[in-house]
Structure 1
Amino acid sequence: MEWTGARYADRPTVEVSTWVGAAPDRVWALVADIGLMPRMSGELRSVEWLDGATGPALGAKFAGHSRHEAFGEWSTTSHVVEYEPGRVFGWAVEDPGHPSSRWRFRLEPAGEGTLLSEWMQVGPGRSGLSMAIDRMPDKEQKIVFVRLRELERNMTATLRQLKELAEA
């Protein structure tokens, strides 16, 4: 990731992709299983569907419980805002109209396998990153850049693990 000088209000994004040597339906089964994600994340500790949901669907909600050395522990409620079975699973964190972040997995058939992408957008709603910026407003661009690089590393690790599981 190159320095962009982005500020939080710019709603910066990160996207990583990998080719997976497995059919899209195999990859989708893994991506749609939010219970797998804490195993693959350095931050996410646990997740559970809320309000009787048992899997992704438009409008379904899930709680995520996370921990980060610099930000501490926190819990969020995410709302599924994009759902095309076998192709797209996306959610908004907290207020779906003004989320603290948005996340999306996208799958596309590619040759004998699947192109798997993970994307996220910071903001526009407030988050732990906003609080760090509040404490050091003169360092906003550096704070945003460092966090985006960290997210890019974590997302790359998640895709690597999904690829390994799908190809096993």
Structure 2
Amino acid sequence: MEWTGQVYADTPTVAAQTYIEASPRRVWECVSDIQLMPRLSAELRSVHWLDEASGPAPGARFAGQNEHDALGSWETISTIVTCEPEHSFAWAVGSPEYPSSIWRFTLRPEGSGTVLEQWTQMGPARSGLSYAIDAMPDKEQKIVFVRLREFESGMEANLAAIKTLMEQEA
């Protein structure tokens, strides 16, 4: 990732992708299972469905418990905003109309496997990162850049773990 000079208000994004030697159907089953992500993520500790939801569907909500050395612990409420089996799975953190972030997995068939991309957008609503920016507004670009790098590193680790899981089961 290159230095972009973006600020939080720009709703910066970052993405990572990998090729997995597994069908989109199998990869979809993995990435749409919210219970898998706490096993892979460096920050997400646990998740559970809300409002009697039991699986991914547009509008379904889930709570997540997160932890970060510098940011502490916090809970998020996310709403699934895209659920297109074998193609795209996305959720908005906070309000779906004005989220603090959006996260998405996109699947694309290629050859005998699947290209899997994980993408995220920061903002437009405030998040825990906003407190650091409020405390050091002159360092906003650096704070945003460092957080995007953390997201990118986490996504690369998630994708590598999903790839290993899928290819070992093949």
TM-score by length of 2: 0.98
Tell me which residue corresponds to 1:35: 35
Q: SS of the counterpart of 1:100? A: strand
Tell me which residue corresponds to 1:145: 145
Tell me which residue corresponds to 1:77: 77
Q: SS of the counterpart of 1:35? A: coil
Report deviation, 1:89: 0.5
Gaps of 5+ in 1: none
- Identity among equivalent pairs (%): 61
Report deviation, 1:121: 0.1
Distance in 1 separating the partners of 2:132 and 2:82: 29
Report deviation, 1:83: 1.0
Distance in 2 separating the partners of 1:92 and 1:82: 9
Distance in 2 separating the partners of 1:144 and 1:101: 13
Tell me which residue corresponds to 2:113: 113
For the pair 1:46 / 2:46, whether they are aligned, the reply is yes
CA deviations 1:98-149 (Å, max 9, x no partner) are: 1000000000100010000000000000001111100100000000000000
Gaps of 5+ in 2: none
Distance in 2 separating the partners of 1:32 and 1:91: 10
For the pair 1:10 / 2:10, whether they are aligned, the reply is yes
CA deviations 1:37-95 (Å, max 9, x no partner) are: 01101100000111111111000000010000011000000000111011110000011
Task: Work out the number of aligned pairs and report it.
Answer: 168
Distance in 1 separating the partners of 2:36 and 2:82: 19
